[in-house]
């Protein structure tokens, strides 16, 4: 028996033409769906018109809702999403809608919605195959549907049996969710507090029998068990888990989902990794220690929250010492270090004060030379301030050489042909503090290999 309409509405409270928005949103969403094995959604201009009209409605009244109640608004087209699609004579068999407010652009809006579990399930719906998007001011609307003559169960049949997020071996997962969805997946945490990005598993109802959860385990790269909670208010065949502690940047995790289907016990196990950021990462966990930085360097400062009750993102600092290049999220910033070598400064983040010391100049002009089938010379430039004692050089994460402060090159030998290596250099000071300078980049050694100018990258 076919259902005439299947409507799923959720609300996201986010922190802070038409055809173009629909095209961009469709391409962006399909990147996520393709990584899970799902079919692409189709850009639908009629859905885009409805989405744009609703964003315009919200912007005119400065109200955030799936429902339109002010018929005097110049963009009013109907109370609900279904009413608004009826207004443009859109004949559908299944619809859902995501909205967000306060994001800087369309991609950040969709990222935030993907971190919110109920909205993610809409984007990864087995039942819809069309998308339209509209943006007006700070308001974003995404209308999804299945259009007659297709029915929602026809679309289900084209999608895989199981969809997990983050997918197996995915290496670009967002690490956090900020408890800004209704209903709240973690009602015991403060709105705006940092928790993990939810892990989700959903079973295609057209291809699955009754699914019964047996157990779920999540571990970090060291094998430590991460406490997680099952999220409520999901449909049958949908499962999601969340931790009160946000994931770290550039970190590996493993998940095991044990379940039964039709009386048969089964297991899904997979690994994933969170996003690695552009600049060297410094994780700030203590207000008692002093963190060492390099003048003129670009770094990522990650103020790791103690709990999901910590909500304040207010930050204050001396602008003569640092510049904020970009706010990644409320706990994470790209920063440029400007102060003089030898100087100290503080950053207030939330209710805490963190201490820093600028102990060296940045390393410049990292490069490779004398490349052969089994060796390579690493070169760098650096002006010592007198506090440094030397350099540590790592190959694929393993320490291979400790260099004197006066050295500016190192030859690495006995390398394997046709193998890719990643090199990292760190500066040390007299207190044996290490400063993560960043990576030389990747190099693949082949006979008579000539290194092109862009064969390495430099984070400076």
DSSP for 234-296?
--TTEEEEE-SSPPPTT-EEEEEEEEEETTEEEEEEEEEEEPPPSS-EEEE--SSSEEEEEET
Say what the pLDDT of residue 62 is.
Answer: 95
Where in the sequence is the domain holding 266, given as residue range(s)?
161-276
Say what the pLDDT of residue 457 is.
Answer: 27
Same domain, 155 and 28: yes
Sole residue written with tokens 């190192």? 410
- Considering the domain boundaries, does residue 11 fall inside one? no
Q: What is the pLDDT along the chain (460 residues), one digit of tens a residue?
A: 333 344 444 444 333 366 799 999 999 999 999 999 999 999 999 999 999 999 999 999 999 999 999 999 999 999 999 999 999 999 999 999 999 998 889 999 999 999 999 999 999 999 999 999 999 999 999 999 999 998 888 999 999 999 999 999 999 999 999 988 888 899 999 999 999 999 999 999 999 999 999 999 999 999 999 999 999 999 999 999 999 999 999 999 999 999 999 989 999 999 999 999 998 899 999 999 999 888 888 999 999 999 998 887 789 999 999 999 999 999 999 999 999 999 999 999 988 999 999 988 888 888 888 888 788 899 988 888 888 888 889 888 899 999 999 999 999 998 887 788 888 888 887 655 656 554 444 454 433 333 333 333 222 2
Which of 359, 384, 400 lies at the terminal end of a domain, its last residue? 359
Same domain, 169 and 296: no
Domain count, the chain: 4
Strand arrangement, sheet containing 211-220? 170-173, 264-274, 252-261, 211-220
Same domain, 191 and 323: no
Say what the pLDDT of residue 243 is.
Answer: 97
Same domain, 224 and 140: no
In angstroms, rounded to a whole number, what is the distance separating the alpha carbons of residues 457 and 444? 14
CATH code where residue 316 lies? 2.60.40
Same domain, 262 and 338: no
């Amino acid at each position: 028996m076919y259902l005439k309409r299947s409507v799923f509405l959720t609300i996201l409270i986010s922190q802070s033409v038409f055809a173009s928005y629909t095209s961009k949103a469709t391409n962006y969403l399909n990147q996520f769906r393709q990584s899970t094995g799902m079919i692409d959604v189709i850009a639908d201009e009629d859905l885009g018109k409805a989405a744009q009209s609703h964003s315009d409605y919200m912007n005119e009244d400065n109200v955030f809702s799936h429902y339109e109640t002010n018929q005097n608004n110049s963009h009013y087209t109907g109370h609900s999403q279904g009413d608004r699609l009826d207004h443009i004579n859109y004949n559908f068999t299944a619809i859902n809608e995501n909205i967000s407010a306060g994001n800087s652009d369309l991609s950040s809006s969709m990222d935030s919605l993907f971190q919110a579990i109920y909205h993610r399930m809409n984007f990864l719906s087995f039942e819809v195959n069309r998308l339209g998007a509209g943006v007006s001011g700070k308001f974003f609307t995404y209308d999804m549907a299945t259009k007659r003559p297709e029915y929602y169960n026809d679309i289900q049949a084209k999608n895989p049996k199981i969809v997990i997020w983050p997918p197996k071996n995915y290496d670009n997962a967002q690490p956090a969710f900020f408890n800004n969805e209704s209903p709240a997946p973690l009602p015991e945490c403060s709105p705006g507090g940092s928790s993990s990005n939810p892990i989700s598993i959903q079973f295609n109802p057209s291809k699955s029998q009754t699914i019964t959860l047996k157990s779920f385990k999540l571990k970090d790269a060291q094998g430590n068990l991460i406490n997680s909670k099952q999220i409520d208010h999901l449909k049958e065949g949908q499962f999601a888990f969340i931790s009160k502690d946000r994931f770290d940047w550039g970190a590996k995790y493993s998940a095991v989902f044990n379940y039964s289907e039709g009386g048969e016990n089964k297991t899904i196990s997979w690994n994933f990794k969170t996003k690695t950021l552009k600049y060297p990462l410094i994780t700030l966990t203590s207000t008692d220690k002093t963190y060492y930085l390099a003048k003129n360097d670009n770094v990522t400062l990650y103020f790791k929250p103690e709990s999901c009750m910590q909500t304040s993102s207010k930050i204050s600092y001396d602008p003569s010492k640092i510049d904020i290049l970009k706010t990644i999220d409320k706990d994470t910033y790209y920063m440029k270090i400007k102060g003089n070598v030898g100087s100290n400064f503080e950053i207030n983040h939330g209710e805490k004060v963190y201490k820093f010391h600028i102990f060296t100049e940045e390393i410049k002009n990292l490069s490779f030379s004398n490349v052969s089938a089994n060796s390579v010379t690493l070169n760098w430039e650096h002006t010592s301030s007198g506090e440094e004692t030397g350099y540590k050089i790592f190959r694929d994460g393993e320490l291979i050489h400790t260099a004197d402060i006066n050295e500016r090159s190192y030859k690495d030998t006995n390398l394997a042909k046709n193998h890719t290596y990643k090199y990292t250099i760190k500066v040390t000071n007299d207190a044996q503090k290490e400063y993560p300078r960043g990576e030389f980049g990747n190099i693949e050694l082949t006979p008579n290999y000539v290194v092109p100018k862009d064969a390495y990258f430099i984070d400076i």
